[in-house]
Amino acid sequence: MSQTVTESHTDGQIGSASDLHLAAFRFMLWARLLDEKFATLYRAGKIHGGVFLGRGQEALSAAIGVHLNKTDVFAPLIRDAAGRLAFGEPIIDAVRTYMGSALGPMRGRDGNVHRGKPQDGYLPMISHLGAMISVVNGVLFARRMKGIKGIVGAACLGEGATSTGAFHEALNQAAVEKLPLVLVVANNQFSYSTPNDRQFACADLAHKAVGYGVEAHSVAGNDFAACMEVVGRAVARARAGHGPQLVVADLLRLCGHGEHDDAGYIPPDMKNSPLGRDCMKLAEEFLLKKKFTDAAQIAVWRSEAVREIEDAVAQVQREPAPDPFAENWTALATENLSEGRE
Amino acid sequence: MSITYLEAIREAQAHALRDDPRVFIYGQDVGAFGGAFKATKNLQKEFPGRVLDSPISEDAMVGLAVGAAIEGMRPIIEMQFADFSTVGFNQIVNQASTLFWRTNVPCPITVRLPFGGTSGSGPFHSQCIEAIYAHYPGLVVLTPATVEDAYSMLLGAVAVNDPVIFCEHKFLYYHLKAEKLPSEALPIGKARIAREGRDLTIVTYSAMVHEALVAATELATEGWEIEVVDLRSIKPLDTDTVMASVARTGRLLCVGEAWPWGGVTAEVIARVTSEGYGLLDAPPQRLNAKDTPVPYHPNLWAAHRPTSRSVAAAARNLLRT
Ligand SMILES: Cc1ncc(C[n+]2csc(CCOP(=O)(O)OP(=O)(O)O)c2C)c(N)n1
């Protein structure tokens, strides 16, 4: 278990700003190191299929994660290790899913970033971009029917996903229903290899909000303090009943689309521009400047994180792989309606 | 008193709403207007807040239903026409149908598909796409052919803990009447012998059951006894009932209103030939719609889909071999 991280789950309720910032920073740190571990395992051939990192997007992801309560709804996407941890995902669930462990939440049936626990409001993404937003709407819609108030649902996506029909339908639906939805768009300038000028033609993605009748927020996605403030405000607006909120964060992913991709299509001058600055560094600078913490403490957290991650990986490597003979090979909950069982 | 197939669908929904607070209906024009076919007539008034108009967003309609199901609700989604469900296809076949298998959290949603041809409806309001859904694991696909089944199977669909594609035939909406609603029903997943016979088995479902029954009556005047099996549910498919019928008759004709490539008729024949080859006295045959979009003009439409006449002709050919 990722005791330290999990126990420090903020539930969005922490009194002082510095506590919330420190919590968010620790999730960023844990996520960065966890991602690096997955990349190492991938290169060693220890992971089946792809590995998708959130390098450069941790500040934005952690910012949404720490502003959600455990009773909220969260549909993260491929670059949200930080947000997932902040929402309460134990590190071992991430490791088990990547390693295909039978003991993980997906039991080896699904892998890598396709993980979650719907019963806890933590929705497991399907690959089809844009498709999770209306599912978040549905949870919020049902809760409203049941008279549950004060909750929000967040969905994360990249700018590429804003071109899908599903995005359009779901954002419009949320607006019509005035649902407390927060859409967090990480505009990392490339969807896989496709640059923004081949993805959309509006001057600013935040302009889209006007057309849907929802509120928009723009932020520099690698600026930790700004992400915390802007995302926090968007969540608060949604929670207070102001309907869906669209957050558009400009940043760069500091890695390939997946670990198989060297991202050679990202021009060097873009990497060297302010857009390409690493949010981890900016966050650390911010915390030190504000004297919220010191370098020694950060070093301690770092080694704690490394130890926890190494422990989790070591544990999962000893765990049994899924057994095809123990599978019931039915996709239905109603077993007697299932075909093809032997 | 008599009740139509369409009224049975409305009554089943009223019953489900009354019995189970987790049920709600979401679809285009289903609210005050009562739906394009009036399948939800007055339900919004009777059940305020639980029968809601949706935007024209089939993808988001199904996505919302999945989210609500995760939250313990039992939504009914009305597609205005089955043809438009393709816009929500992704959410049905990738989101709803995989949820339980991936996460162990059931996805009890019912997606109602008013489907099948009626005269003058043309290429985009007539389609029979049940087989596409049946192809995907994780879905139950129902095709009631009678007023009684429309009622009891819709209630059953809402009770099932899995996503159900409920294919209700528009041709039967007003044509088909029953004296009263049933109090008992065959379980979901069981086929029904709609007419007994010993010379040839016609396996079919939905509106084609009625074409097959007319054909069987006609063939009876020529001395043939035709057995008609109404599948009721195409997934799961009740292979046992089909096989038992073929064992009695030795001849199999599968009839479907859907297009010929693959599909339910091909599936039935594949199962019978691989599992019951020895039962057959003649090569099994199938009759489907033609492999073109569904035509608009009644003359073309009548020639496009199987009718009692073409079913009878196909049966005669098979009886002669
Ligand atoms: C509907 C759909 N089409 C295509 C893909 C394949 N695909 C996976 S990620 C990706 C790029 C996504 O870009 P973006 O939404 O900007 O997110 P980013 O990867 O930049 O974080 C594509 C095309 C997909 N997953 N879903």
User: For B220-232, what is each residue's pLDDT tens digit?
Assistant: 999 999 999 999 9
- Give tens-digit pLDDT for B176-196: 999 999 999 999 999 999 999
Together in a domain, B88 and B17: yes
Assign a CATH topology to domain A3-320. Rossmann fold (3.40.50)
Contact call for residues B175 and B146 (beta carbons, < 8 A): no
Given pLDDT bands bounded at 50, 70 and 90, which one contains residue A7?
very low
| Other beta carbons within 10 Å of A304 | 18
- Reduced to 3 states (helix: H, G, I; strand: E, B; else coil), residue A208 is helix
Predicted pLDDT at A10: 45
Chain A contact set for B59 (CB, 8 A): 131, 134, 165-166, 169-170
CATH for B121: 3.40.50.970
Which are the contacts of B95, defined by CB distance < 8 A and separation ≥ 6? A126, A128, A131, A135, B62, B63, B66
Distance from CA of B22 to the nearest CA of A (A): 9
Domain count, chain B: 2
Contact call for residues B91 and B48 (beta carbons, < 8 A): no
Chain mean pLDDT for chain B: 98
Chain A contact set for B24 (CB, 8 A): 145
A161 in ligand 1 pocket by Cβ < 6 Å? Answer: yes
- Asked if B161's CB is within 8 angstroms of A141's CB, the reply is no
Handedness of CA A44, A48, A53, A58 (dihedral sign): negative
Given pLDDT bands bounded at 50, 70 and 90, which one contains residue A6?
very low
Asked if the structure places residue B187 within a domain, the reply is no
Chain A contact set for B95 (CB, 8 A): 126, 128, 131, 135
Q: Where does a domain end: B178, B203, B232?
A: B178
Peptide bond preceding A180: is omega within 30 degrees of 0, i.e. cis? Answer: no
Q: State how far the Cα of A244 lies from the Cα of A48, in Å rounded to an integer.
A: 37
Given pLDDT bands bounded at 50, 70 and 90, which one contains residue A15?
low
Together in a domain, B144 and B221: no
Domain residue limits at B208: 192-320
- What six digits make up the tokens of B297? 């003009």
- Give tens-digit pLDDT for B50-91: 999 999 999 999 999 999 999 999 999 999 999 999 999 999
Q: State how far the Cα of B287 lies from the Cα of B311, in Å rounded to an integer.
A: 7
Select from A103, A135, A140 the residue whose CB has the most chain B CBs within 10 Å, as the one to mutate to test that interface: A135
Together in a domain, B224 and B296: yes
Q: Where does a domain end: B178, B200, B234?
A: B178
Contact call for residues A56 and A63 (beta carbons, < 8 A): no
Q: Is A135 in the B-facing interface, judged by CB distances under 8 Å?
A: yes
Contact call for residues A67 and A231 (beta carbons, < 8 A): yes
ipTM above 0.85, yes or no: yes
Q: Where does a domain end: B124, B154, B178?
A: B178
Predicted pLDDT at A341: 57
Asked if the structure places residue B107 within a domain, the reply is yes
Domain boundaries of chain A, sorted by first residue: 3-320
